[in-house]
Each structure stands twice: as structure tokens, then as C-alpha cells.
Amino acid sequence: MTEARMQETTQNAPGAFCWVELGTTDGEAAKKFYGGLFGWGFNDNLMGPDMVYTILKLDGKDVGGLYHMPSEMTSQGVPPHWMSYVSVKSADEAAAKAKSLGATLMKEPFDVGDAGRMSVIQDPTGAVFSIWQAGVNPGAGIYNVPNALCWNELATPDTAKAGDFYTGLFGWGKDVKDMGEMTYTSFINGDRPAGGMYKPTPEMGEIPPNWLAYFAVDDADAKAAKAKELGANIIVPPMDIPEVGRFAVIQDPQGAHLGIIKLVQPQA
């Protein structure tokens, strides 16, 4: 994890993570939890007779989204989760390329009104992410400040296969570092870090392939304690990553996982 992007942005370059979205089983309870934890505001939008999509707000800017998962998702066993989105020039072209590289299209490209066009993809190792072709909505408007998204990290049992897939799909470069117990890969989009990747160690237990969203905080210990007070489970208690920062992994009261981190170096 390292310096990523500007604090505020009006557009997101292709290959950059541009949005994060919570699918949950209890929207109102999730709002109470995240409002208490991060101080977010909420802007509800009717997307149909039975669908409300909530824009998460921080300092008047969009942080991400939240929605109550429909029965067709929960009946298929989809758990509450944070979804990470990557910006692309063409959702159709990127989805076709992902498929040619061995991915599964869980949702073929489709329009989200005039906001943009997207697809949901499962990479060849099993992790799920989305791609976003911006229409009137380019994505989040604030990054890398306390209580906003600052990093996206892939845990996968096959970093070689995943590395080939993502570099092939997005043109990312790779910066691979030996961190003792594990090797950590930073994906590079142009001249900026895009996200991270690692292979879980046996000591970590059974971790399914997944992209984990990290939110910046001023104090990892205080924020983890606050999350627990609000009903969360602490999956990884606060600990230091040398020269990077202090982080924790928590599971919100509905079951979605997220990371928090106090970075050593303030974000630009």
C-alpha cells in the first residue's frame, strides 16, 4: 500500500479503481453502522419499484454506494460484500477481453441509466470485481482522506494466474516485493499504484479469493474499537506493516468485510 491518487477527482483514468459499493442484507442497519463509523451521509435514489440505491457521502462528495441485496442474490448464497469497480473506456470491450483471458462474466455489460455501463466479472482464480464505463457519473469524487477509500487488495491462491490476468486486462505493471512471510505485488496503472495482491498464508486460514476495499483512518486502533462498539467483528486486529501503516480488517454487523488503515505517509 502506498500513495495512490489525489484526494479529490472529477474523473478516473482507465485502469484505476473508481468506485466501491456495499451489497447488504439490511440497508438501514448498514447506514447506522457506517454513519457511526465513518460519519458518512446518505442520499437515497429510487431505481425502480423495489430498489433503492444509496450514494454514500463525505464532505459533500460521493464515496461509494449501498444497496439492499434482492432475493435473487441472497437465494444464491451471495453474502454481504463490498464490490470494487475499475474504470474502463469500453465495458463491452473490457468484458470481452476478460472472457478471452479466462474470466467468467457474472453479469454481461449493461447500462445503469445514463450514469454509465458496467459488467460484473469473476477472475480466473475466483475473485469478483466490476468494471465501469463512465457516462454522467465518473465514479467517486474523493479518495485517500480519512473515511474514504484508499486501497483495493486482492487475496488469491494463485498470484501468477491472477497477475497475468489483470496485467493482460488493464495493462497494469507489477512491483513485486518480498515481505518475509509473503510476497506482495503492487499493481501499477501508468505512473500510479492501482491496487495490491498477495497469496494468503496457511496461518490466515481459509480466505476465499476476493478484492478487499480499504478505507483511510486517522487512528486504526480507535476506529477498530469504534467498529466493535457498533457491532462489528474484528477479523484482523490492528497491526503494523513496516513503512506502510497500521491496519485492521473488520466484518460489519451484516457480514461484509473491509479494511481500515492509518498510512505512515499522508496521501497527496
Find out if CATH 3.10.129.10 is the number for domain 149-263.
Answer: no
Pairwise CA distance, residues 28 & 32, whole Å: 6
Per-residue confidence (pLDDT) for residue 41, from 0 to 100? 97
What does the pLDDT read at residue 50?
Answer: 80
Query: What pTM value is reported for the model?
Result: 0.93
For the chain, what are the domain ranges?
17-134, 149-263
Name the grid cell of 28.
438501514
Beta strands 173-178 and 116-122 are: unpaired
Q: How far apart are CA 44 and CA 199, in angstroms?
A: 38
- 197-209 tens-digit pLDDT: 999 988 888 889 9
Torsion of CA 120, 125, 127, 128, to 10 degrees: 0
Give the three-class secondary structure for 33. helix
Q: Tell me the CATH architecture of domain 17-134.
A: Roll (3.10)
| Strand pairing category for 210-216 and 149-155 | antiparallel
17-62: pLDDT as tens digits: 999 999 999 999 999 999 999 999 999 998 877 889 999 999 999 9
Alpha helices (H) in 91-219, listed in sequence order: 91-100, 159-170
